[in-house]
Each structure stands twice: as C-alpha cells, then as structure tokens.
C-alpha cells in the first residue's frame, strides 16, 4: 500500500522533516514545501493539490497551520519503520509553479510555413515604419533597374528601428526594390510589418542571405553607405532597401576636381579630359580620388563582398570629400549590366547591332571583365559550347574595374571610349562559338591601354602605369590587391620611406567566402511587375439578407480548416447571421449552440453546425448586457439586463422559450443594472453592476452569497481564471478577488483623479491579463506586474478576445485588429498581423474552433471563415 505523500516534493509524510500542514481548503502539504511556495498575493497561497487560493499566515509561516494528526497516525499504523526516508526532501523538492498544461495549445494565426519566430526576430528590427520614408523622384524605365530617390519624413517614427538612429527629417535616401508583397484579395488585410515579413519570406534563401550580408557590411564598415532598413510602399507592395544618399552629383564633383582649377566653383565641367599630372593641383586631385576609391573598395572586400563590376555610380562622396561604396547603386548597376548583356547577345543581328547594344555599358560607365562576361553569358546559356574562361569571379574582378576607372581618370572620356571599342570586339569573339583567339585579341587591347598610359604618365610615373597594367591582366590571380594600388597612389603624395600607414596590411575574408553581387540573385533580372498577385478563384459565402444565415457552401469541404491557420494563404469570407434589431452586446458558445445578446432585449440561439437561427429567447424588459453558458448536468444559459434582471434558460435537446428562473438584484434608482457576468464552474454566478459592486450568486438555490465592493464606477467586465475573479471598471482599475472566500487580492491600474480611462473589456489566459480601454489603449499584466501598454486604436476598444497568443480587438473605428504575442518572462512583444475593415462597429468578439464570431452595433453577427481552393 502506498503511503500518503506531499504533493510537492513527493516525500512520505512524517513527524520530523515532512510534517503535513492542513490548509483552509482541507488539503495538506509538508511544512518545508509550504515555506518555498510563492506568495502571489498578500496573505494568500495556492494549494498545491486543488490550486485554490487560500489564506496563509504570512508572518507566522506554515508552522501556524495545524498538523494533520490523523494522517500522521495513519502512516505510523501502516509502516512505523519507514517514517524517515533516507533521501532528504530538500534534495528532491519541486517548487510549485503555475501549470500551463491546463491551457490548450494555441492555434497558429499564421502557418509555420510562412515564417517562424526566429525568422521574425532576425528581420523585425530592419523594417522601417510606413511613414518614415517617402518617394521624391521615381526612376524611368524598369523599376528593378533604377534607384528611386526618397527622403526621411519622420525621424521619430523611425526610432522603432534599433539598428540605426535616423538622420534629421528631409534627409535624402536612395531606394532599390528588393522584393514585393503578394497578399491574397481577402477581407483580412495584413498589417504593414506583416506584409514586409511576407515579402521577405517569399524571397529565396540566397536572396535573404545577400540582404543579410549587405546589412552586416553596413553596420561594420564606415566606408560603405549606411543601410537604414527595409521600407514598403503600401500602394503597390514594393519593398525597398533604404540607403543613405549624399547631396550633390558625384560625377560632377569628380569632373570639377580632376579638370577644374583648385578653388574653382564652376559647374560647367561634366566630362573628363586627359589628365596632366605635372600640372599644379592635378597630381593631388588624382591621388585624393584614387586613394579614396581604393579605401572604399577595401572596406567592401573586408566583408567578403565583391561587386564584380564597378562604375562611377557605385561610389558616393560626402560633404567632406570622403568616398563611400553605395550598395544600392551596385545592385542597380548590376541589374543593368545583366540586362544589356542579355539583350546584346540574344539579338539576332549583325556584329554592328550587337556592338551598339554593348555600347550601353559605356553609357552607364560600367567596366566588365572577361571572366565576368563569360560567367554572365554562361548564365544566359549563350556560350554553352565554348565553356568558360577558366577563371572565377573574385576580388580581382573588382580590381579590373577599378583600374578601368583610374585609366579613365587619366586618359579622359574620349580616349577611354576609343579603347573600349577594342574591348567590345573581344566580347563579340566570346559570343561566337566558332571563333577562338580572344586571348590574343585581349593582349592587343592591353598594348593599346599601356601605350595610352605611357603617353599620359611618362617615365616619371612608370610605377603607376605598371600597377594599372597588372590590374588589367587577363588572369585575375595575377592582379594586385587594392592595398597595393592604394600604396602606389599614395606614393604620388608621400615619400614611401616616411609613410608608416602604407605598411599596414589589409585583412581579407577567406577566398571561399567571397560573395559577388552581380552574379547573385539580388541582381537577377526579375519580371517588371509593380505587384505580383496570385489570383485564385475562390468560392465566397454571401448572405441572402434573410433572418438566419446563408450556408449553402459551408458543407462543401472548402471551409473546414482553421481560420487562423490560413488568413494569409486563403480567402477570408463571412457568413451573416441576422435576427437582432439592435447592437450586439455579447456572444457565448456552449452545448452546440451560439448565444447572442442585444439591446433589442432578446437572446438569440444559433446552430453551430449550419449557423441556422433556432429561436429568440424573450422576456427581458431592458437591454440584455451579457450572457454566459453553464455546462452542468442541466446545461443553462444565463442572461442579465441593465434593469437588474437575471434570467436562467434551460438548454437541453430543445431550447425552452420560457426562463427556468428569473430574479432581480436590488437596484438603486441612481444606478444602472447589470453590465457584466462571469461563471465559476457550476457553483457561482457573478454579476458586475452599475452600483459599483460585484455580487456572487449560488447556482444551487440562486441565493445571494456575497457582495464585493471597492470599485468607484460601473463594473464593465468580469473574467474568472485559475481561482481568481478579475473585474474591470469604468474607474480605470482592475481588481482581483479570491474565489475561495471572495476577499480582495490586488488592484491594478491607475484610479487617480484626472487620469481615468474606463476599462471596457478583459481577457485572461495562462499568466497574462489583457485589458482594453476607452482611449484605444491595451495594457497587459503578468503575475500582476504590468508588462506592456500600447496605443492600438485611435478610439475606444469595445471588444476583446484572446486565444493563446492571438488577440482580437474591435474598435470604435470599425476595425478588427489582430495582434500576436511573443516574448519571454522579462518582456512581452505585441505585433500587428493585420486587420479586418468592417461596415459597422464591432461590439462583441468570440474566437472558437478556428472561427471568429463578431457582433456589430448594427445588430448583425458575422462568422469569419477561411475558404480554400
């Protein structure tokens, strides 16, 4: 026979170290365990056996509780030799914590296949608020091949992003489209942040990886333009990468610096002529620009990132003359290059036509190395027969492009254009699978470049000529690093023997970790669509406007899934239930029925199988304010009105149209009647009244057992959970009462004069209490400690429903907002997932078995169901 043991530490009771103490509820626990149980409320402890809240001598401790003498006597009589277990109870003691097993597993509002909590945590801080950025100037042509110009609208709103502190308002930014939100045409509209998350989730893993690399480089490198985050245009769903943009035109500034006299403010110079380094100021100008370009490129390379192809547009200069790598412009340039190359070699024309198309690269001042050209052609499956150059794209590809930029600065625009006509010939040779010898043609082109540099630089700067020629080597492995070019250019200004900085070596990421943007997925040629939508034919559920519901399509097998598991992948439809003539006040479910109360003084009963209207329960002489269902041996529905009337209806096989019992609570003429109801199992009924009190009624004989006072205004909402009665009032406070003896436990909220916001609705689940207020605010408490206060709606939040981690809120603004809870024991995070725009004010909410029931001020009840193809 097993001997009685402590329900906490599971040790057999004895009179030495496991002394049983009797609680007020009649259960026992050992004295040592009772000392370690948490005191959630003053002078109150939760029984580890029945979980009821019972009085506890806080100052005297458990020793003041009586011993269970009968239990000790029984143990002694059964096994007197085994009253002292060898293992100490202190070593095996298990502290009692509030169990979460009593709550069913929360349904997922969005399916796991969309995004996980980890995915959300990784990206949420990079999402910029909807009104933090505005588009100032739209680009021409294909949107994926241009960078839009925008500006910061509200730096205060942008403070939600924890990655960067935004600059002041009206600061310029550049925007490049990186994704698109595709939302089904449904009554449920995803929130702004959820739409951005949906767009990110639709990206390929490689695309998200590239975005992560860009964001990381922006955080760590000072010579890379800052990326503020991701912003979505709510009109078309396009998601943009927002990057800082400096004032002024970089090309114009460069032209003025290289061609103009020092101190000249002329804006007429827009082209580059042949540079004479012997001229006064020209040497310094070139050295400044060259070293800045190298340093900016070194910052990009130190993160293992390679552009693959560089142009003047890839760089930006600030007001202090420092040059930065512009990631957005790199993406735009890469998309243009891929587009031009694809069109050039897919054109079925002569070499002149192909050469003309390749000249577009000169228009955007891009310099494409041969190994990159091979890679892009193979990607387009144009040179499948010829294979590739045998060289991979890496740091050397950027060095080749950088050298071309420096050559252009030295020899000027016109000479560079002539030089690259020869390079286009090499491109034509590559495109012809029957032709070879492009290497010899390339060497001939190299000789021309070397000759131009020699003419420009002379013998005095031969070292620079040699380095630039090495940068243009056909084999990328023989090209120098950016640091070597940087040292060579610095020698134009500083004696190498005195330049200690130039002896420092730059650190590069391992070769296997190199990522090239131009051959990545972010530069892939996407289809030009402002918004991609998956239009599917879905069967809708429409009301016929009659009393009851149109349920012709409910049983066709297309609406059997959970509403919450598919709001973003299906079509949200609604069934209209019409029988009431005035505002819906409360909804309740039980016994296979849906009950609804209304200002029209009736309670309507609906069949949950086909949503047909069964009957109206009449008898109230005042507005019915609340209803509850009692799941007892004889199922009951209890309704209460603002005249103080309480009606009990029998719910059996058929609903009786006459009340089983009717009574009225005492009512002072100065106050309204009952405003809220709550039920505790099948024992107690609680009523919250306009006279500021809460009354407890026995469901055995319907007698008044207790009156609880303390509120200073109407008791608007009641909830029962885990042995505690929660009452919300118009006085702005929430009071907690023990269901064991109806004693007060705690007061939450602020009832200071002049700072009163009426509590309109309560919802309790697990260890979380959520309250909505008249000012549109929602507050949350955990273990009676306020965790969060958020302004959700602009007006009053009249109705509230919580299911697991999902919260539904109906506001005066005719919007049902859907929020998701996340976080840990230290903080609670609430995020808006979407909303449902309504024609009337939602005054009652109920979520049950994947369906959202909404009662409106106009008297209509809508059942929202997710429909699937």
Backbone φ, ψ for residue 814 (5° rounding) = 65, 35
As a residue count, the chain comes to 869
pLDDT digits (tens, 9 = 90+) for 794-833: 889 999 998 888 899 999 999 999 888 877 777 888 888 8
How does pLDDT run across 173-230, given as a tens digit for each residue? 889 999 888 765 667 788 888 888 888 988 888 888 899 999 988 888 888 888 989 9
Query: Residue 840 phi/psi, 5° resolution?
Result: -140, 170
Q: Give how far Cα 213 sits from Cα of 187, 300, 835, Å.
A: 37, 11, 33
Distance, CA of 366 to CA of 401 (rounded, Å):
8
CA separation for the pair 392, 477 (Å, rounded): 9
Choose from 274-288, 684-698, 802-816 the range with maximum mean pLDDT.
684-698
pLDDT at residue 545 tops 50: no
Q: Residue 375 and residue 391: Cα distance in Å, rounded? A: 9
Q: Beta strand pairing status for 636-641 and 624-630?
A: antiparallel
Secondary structure (3-state) at 767: coil
CA distances to 551, 613, 713, 714, 715 from 710, rounded to whole Å, are 47, 41, 9, 11, 10
Token pair recorded at residue 401:
């492009």
pLDDT band at 860 (very low <50, low <70, confident <90, very high): very high
Q: Which residue has the higher pLDDT, 413 or 435?
A: 413
Kindly provide the residue ranges of all beta strands, DSSP E only, lying in 167-307, ordered along the sequence: 172-180, 188-190, 227-232, 238-244, 305-306
pLDDT exceeds cutoff 80 at 745:
yes
Q: What percent of the chain has pLDDT over 90?
A: 27
d(CA 683, CA 264): 92
Going by pLDDT thresholds of 50, 70 and 90, the confidence category of residue 679 is: very high
- Predicted confidence band at 92 (pLDDT cuts at 50, 70, 90)? very low
User: Could you give the CA distance from residue 420 to residue 426 in angstroms, rounded to a whole number?
Assistant: 10
**Which pLDDT belongs to residue 831?**
82
Residue labelled with tokens 């990132």: 305
| Residue 819: both structure tokens together | 């929020």
Tokens of 338: 């891929």
User: CA 113, CA 132: separation in Å to the nearest integer?
Assistant: 30
Residue whose structure tokens are 């066709």: 556
DSSP annotation of 115: -
pLDDT tens digits, 141-185 = 556 677 888 888 765 544 444 455 566 677 888 899 998 887 656
What would the pLDDT profile of 353-366 be if each residue is shown by its tens digit? 556 655 666 665 77
pLDDT at position 537 over 50: no
CA-angle at 203, arms to 201 and 207, nearest 5°? 125
Residue 49 φ/ψ, nearest 5 degrees: -95, -50
Residue 625 has pLDDT above 90, yes or no: yes
- CATH code assigned to 117-244: 3.30.200.20
- Which residues face 315 on adjacent strands? 325
| Average pLDDT over every residue of 99-124 | 57
Strands (E), 608-732: 613-618, 624-630, 636-641, 645-650, 661-664, 674-680, 684-689, 694-698, 704-708, 715-721, 724-729
**Angstrom distance (rounded) from CA 513 to CA 509:** 6
Question: Are the CB atoms for 228 and 240 separated by under 8 Å?
Answer: no
Each residue's pLDDT tens digit, 493-509: 777 666 666 555 544 54
How many other CB atoms are there within 10 angstroms of residue 543's CB atom?
Answer: 16
Residue with structure tokens 């200690």?
A: 500
The CB density around residue 824, as the number of other CB atoms within 10 Å, is 7
pLDDT in the model for residue 96:
28
pLDDT digit string, tens, across residues 374-405: 888 777 665 444 445 567 888 999 999 999 98
pLDDT of residue 431: 53
Q: What is the mean pLDDT of residues 719-748?
A: 93
Three-state DSSP class for 102? coil
Q: Give rounded-to-5 percent helix, strand, coil for the chain.
A: 25, 30, 45
Write the CA distances from 544 to 297, 541, 578, integer angstroms.
67, 10, 10
Strand order in 851-856's β-sheet? 571-578, 860-867, 851-856, 842-848
Q: How far is CA 171 from CA 223, 230, 409, 659, in A?
A: 19, 16, 30, 69
Lowest mean pLDDT among 349-353, 678-682, 757-761: 349-353
Greater confidence, 211 or 69? 211
β-strand partners of 150: 135, 173
Mean pLDDT of the chain: 78
CA distance 324 to 316: 5
Residue 70 burial (10 A CB sphere; 0-12, 13-18, 19+) = exposed
Cα separation, 676 vs 716, in Å, equals 6
Residue 547 CB neighbour total at 10 angstroms: 13
Give the per-residue pLDDT at 266: 40
Least confident of 3-7, 466-470, 674-678: 3-7
117: which 2 tokens?
């909590």
pLDDT for position 687: 96
CA count, 13 A, side-chain hemisphere, 586: 28
Look up the CATH number of domain 1-97.
3.30.40.10
Contact 577, 855 (CB under 8 A): no
Judged against a pLDDT cut of 60, whether residue 111 lies above it is answered with no
**What CATH code is assigned to 250-523?**
1.10.510
Q: For residue 410, what pLDDT is reported?
A: 85
Percent of the chain with pLDDT over 70: 73
Q: Residue 837 belongs to what H/E stretch?
A: strand 828-837
Please list, residue by residue across 241-277, b when 16 or more beta carbons sit within 10 angstroms of its beta carbon and e when fewer do: bbbbbbeeebbeebbbbbbbeeeeeeeebeebeebeb
Q: Compute the average pLDDT of residues 612-629.
A: 94
| Angstrom distance (rounded) from CA 337 to CA 286 | 27
- Whole-angstrom CA distances from 301 to 103, 337, 508, 520, 770 are 53, 21, 6, 16, 50
Tens of pLDDT, residues 570-583: 567 789 999 999 99
Q: Exposed, middle or buried, 125 (CB in 10 Å: 0-12/13-18/19+)? A: middle
The span from the CA of 344 to the CA of 348, in Å, is 9
Could you write out the DSSP letters of every residue in 227-243?
A: EEEEEE-TTT-EEEEEE
The yes-or-no verdict on residue 109 having pLDDT over 60 is no
pLDDT-based confidence at residue 248 (cuts at 50, 70, 90): low
Q: What number of CA atoms fall less than 13 Å from residue 60's CA on the CB side?
A: 9
- Domains in the chain: boundaries: 1-97, 117-244, 250-523
Query: What pLDDT, in 10s, does the model give residues 31-43?
Result: 888 888 877 677 7
Give dist(CA 131, CA 117) in Å, integer: 25
Cα separation, 565 vs 110, whole angstroms: 5
Average pLDDT over residues 696-719: 94
* Residue 98 pLDDT greater than 60, yes or no: no
Note the pLDDT of residue 97.
Answer: 31
**Where residue 455 falls among pLDDT bands split at 50, 70, 90?**
confident
d(CA 746, CA 177): 53
Distance CA 869, CA 539 (A): 8
Query: How does pLDDT run across 750-770, given as a tens digit for each residue?
Result: 655 567 889 999 999 877 999
407-421 pLDDT, tens digit each: 888 887 777 777 776
Pair 604, 616: CB distance under 8 Å:
yes
User: Among 580, 613, 611, 616, which residue's Cα sits nearest to residue 598?
Assistant: 580
């Amino acid at each position: 026979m097993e001997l009685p043991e402590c329900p906490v530490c599971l040790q057999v009771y004895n009179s030495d170290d496991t002394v049983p103490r009797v609680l007020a509820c009649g259960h026992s626990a050992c004295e040592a365990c009772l000392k370690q149980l948490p005191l959630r409320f003053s002078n109150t402890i939760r029984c580890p056996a029945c979980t009821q809240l019972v009085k506890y001598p806080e100052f005297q401790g458990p020793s003041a509780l009586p011993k269970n003498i009968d239990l000790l006597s029984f143990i002694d009589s059964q096994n007197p030799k085994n009253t002292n277990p060898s293992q100490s109870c202190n070593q095996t003691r298990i502290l009692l914590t509030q169990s979460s097993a009593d709550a069913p597993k929360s349904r997922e509002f969005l399916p796991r296949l969309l995004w996980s909590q980890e995915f959300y945590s990784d990206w949420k801080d990079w999402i910029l608020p909807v009104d933090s950025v505005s588009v100032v100037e739209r680009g021409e042509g294909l949107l994926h091949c241009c960078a839009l110009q925008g500006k910061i609208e509200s730096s205060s709103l942008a403070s939600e992003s924890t990655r960067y502190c935004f600059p002041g308002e009206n600061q310029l930014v550049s925007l490049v489209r990186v994704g698109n939100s595709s939302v089904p045409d449904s009554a449920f509209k995803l929130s702004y942040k959820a739409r951005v998350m949906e767009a990110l989730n639709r990206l390929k893993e490689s695309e998200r990886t590239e975005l992560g690399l860009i964001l990381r480089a922006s955080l760590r490198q000072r010579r890379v333009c800052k990326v503020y985050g991701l912003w979505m245009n709510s009109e078309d769903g396009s998601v943009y990468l927002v990057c800082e943009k400096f004032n002024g035109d970089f090309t114009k500034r460069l032209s003025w610096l290289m061609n103009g006299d020092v101190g000249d403010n002329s804006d007429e110079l827009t082209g580059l002529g042949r540079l004479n380094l012997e001229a006064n100021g020209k040497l310094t100008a070139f050295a400044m620009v060259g070293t800045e370009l190298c340093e900016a490129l070194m910052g990009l390379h130190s993160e293992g990132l390679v552009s693959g192809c560089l142009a003047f547009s890839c760089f930006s200069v600030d007001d202090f003359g420092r040059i930065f790598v512009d990631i957005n412009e790199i993406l735009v340039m890469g998309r243009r290059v891929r587009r031009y190359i694809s069109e050039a070699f897919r054109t079925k024309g002569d070499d002149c036509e192909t050469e003309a198309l390749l000249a577009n690269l000169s228009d955007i001042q891009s310099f494409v190395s041969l190994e990159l050209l091979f890679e892009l052609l193979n990607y387009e499956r144009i040179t499948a027969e010829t294979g590739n150059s045998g060289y991979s794209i890496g740091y050397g590809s950027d060095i080749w492009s950088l050298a071309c930029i420096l050559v252009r600065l030295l020899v000027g625009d016109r000479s560079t254009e002539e030089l690259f006509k020869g390079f286009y010939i090499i491109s034509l040779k590559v495109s012809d699978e029957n032709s070879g010898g492009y290497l010899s043609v390339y060497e001939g082109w190299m000789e021309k470049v070397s000759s131009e540099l020699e003419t420009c630089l002379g013998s005095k700067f031969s070292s620079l000529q040699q380095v630039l020629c090495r940068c243009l080597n056909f084999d990328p492995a023989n090209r120098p690093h950016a640091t070597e070019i940087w040292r060579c250019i610095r020698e134009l200004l500083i004696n190498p023997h005195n330049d200690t900085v130039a002896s420092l070596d730059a650190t590069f990421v391992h070769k296997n970790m190199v990522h090239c943007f131009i051959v990545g997925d972010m530069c892939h040629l996407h289809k030009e669509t402002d918004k991609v939508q998956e239009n599917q034919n879905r069967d809708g559920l429409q009301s016929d406007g009659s009393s009851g519901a149109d349920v012709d399509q409910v049983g066709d097998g297309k609406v059997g899934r959970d509403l919450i598991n598919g709001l973003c992948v299906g079509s949200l439809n609604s069934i209209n239930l019409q029988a009431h003539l005035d505002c819906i006040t409360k909804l309740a479910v039980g016994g296979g029925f849906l009950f609804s109360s209304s200002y029209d003084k009736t309670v309507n009963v609906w069949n949950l199988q086909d949503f047909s209207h069964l009957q109206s329960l009449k008898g109230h002489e005042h507005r019915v304010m609340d209803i509850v269902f009692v799941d007892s041996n004889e199922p009951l529905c209890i309704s209460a009105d603002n005249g103080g009337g309480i009606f009990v209806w029998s719910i059996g096989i058929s609903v009786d149209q006459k009340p089983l019992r009717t009574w009225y609570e005492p009512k002072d003429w100065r106050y309204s009647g009952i405003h809220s109801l709550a039920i505790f199992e099948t024992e107690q009924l609680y009523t919250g009244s306009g006279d500021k009190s809460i009354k407890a009624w026995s469901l055995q004989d319907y007698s008044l057992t207790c009156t609880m006072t303390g509120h200073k205004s109407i008791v608007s909402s009641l909830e029962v959970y885990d042995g505690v009665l929660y009452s919300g009032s118009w006085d702005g406070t929430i009071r907690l009462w023990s269901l064991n003896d109806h004693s007060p436990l705690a007061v939450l909220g602020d009832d200071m004069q002049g700072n009163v916001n009426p509590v309109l609705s309560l919802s309790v689940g697990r260890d979380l209490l959520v309250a909505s207020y008249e000012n549109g605010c929602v507050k949350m408490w955990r273990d009676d400690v306020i965790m969060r206060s958020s302004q959700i709606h602009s007006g009053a939040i009249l109705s509230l429903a919580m299911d697991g981690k999902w919260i539904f809120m109906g506001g005066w603004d005719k919007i049902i907002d859907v929020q998701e809870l996340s976080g840990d024991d230290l903080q609670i995070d609430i995020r808006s997932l979407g909303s449902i725009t309504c024609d009337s004010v939602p005054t009652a909410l109920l979520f049950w078995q994947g369906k959202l029931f909404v009662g409106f001020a106009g008297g209509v009840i809508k059942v929202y169901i997710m429909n699937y193809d």
